[in-house]
Amino acid sequence: MRIKIFLFTLVAISLFSACNKKDDFNYPEGTVGRSKITNYPVFHITGNDVISVVKGNAFVDPGVTATEGTNTLPVTTTGTVNTGTVGLYELTYTATNKDGYSATAGRTVVVIPAAETPGVDLSGTYTAIGGAPAPATITKEAPGVYHTTNAWGGGSVVEIAAYFISSDGATLIVPLQNTSAGRFQSTAPGTYVNGLITWTVSRLDFPGGPLTVQKQWQKQ
């Protein structure tokens, strides 16, 4: 989608004159009257926003381009992916238009420990065990990679959306990641048994120091 921003100067515009003179709408390209238009860069990402790569395999970015109208813009990529270490990695793409305005887009790359076992899919609706009921929706984002709308719950009103990894449908890993509640991760692999998720997760930026709690979620 093309995004436009209008930069206005402080002028008084008369819509009608006493002599009923018609307005001239033949404005120079890139302007509307005395106002200048700038088109923010629009990104076209090849592939999905979240992709997985098996540990030890080579990672090749599927690619991204940026345009300003019909013009192609250079794209700068920041962030790296270490395929030797299981975890979550963020790539940020940046482009700048002719007026000096920049925009960014991103991709999440998750290194999983092994190729996904065929047929594994943990997506669905879950409810926290213990404390006040708290719902969570888990969606499969890529082979071996899932996103949950709440990885915390279980007696807490705080909801923390997070990614987790499961290549075999039994062992769960919550990699270190930034969330709405700060840095978040599991301290040891969790488990999935008969629809029950059990993991021990830590909020590293909890006021007063890191907070580590075991949480359980039952599939509905």
**pLDDT greater than 70 at residue 219:** yes
Q: Which residues have CB under 8 Å from 17's CB, separation 6+?
A: none
Rounded to 5 degrees, φ, ψ at 7 are: -105, 115
Domains of the chain: 42-112 (2.60.40.10), 124-219 (2.40.128)
Q: Which residues have CB under 8 Å from 9's CB, separation 6+?
A: 34, 35
Helix, strand, coil in percent for the chain, rounding step 5: 0, 50, 50
Q: What is the pTM of this model?
A: 0.82
Kindly report, residue by residue over 107-163, the tens digit of the pLDDT: 999 999 999 999 999 999 999 998 777 899 999 999 999 999 999 987 778 899 999
Cα(133)–Cα(127) distance, integer angstroms: 6
Read off the tokens for 37: 């238009």
User: In the prediction, which pLDDT does 38 show?
Assistant: 81
SS3 at position 199:
strand
Kindly report, residue by residue over 100-122, the tens digit of the pLDDT: 999 999 999 999 999 999 999 99
Read off the tokens for 198: 């059990």
What percent of the chain has pLDDT above 90?
Answer: 75
Cα(59)–Cα(187) distance, integer angstroms: 26
The model's confidence at residue 15, banded by pLDDT at 50, 70 and 90, is very low
The model's confidence at residue 37, banded by pLDDT at 50, 70 and 90, is confident
**pLDDT greater than 50 at residue 4:** no
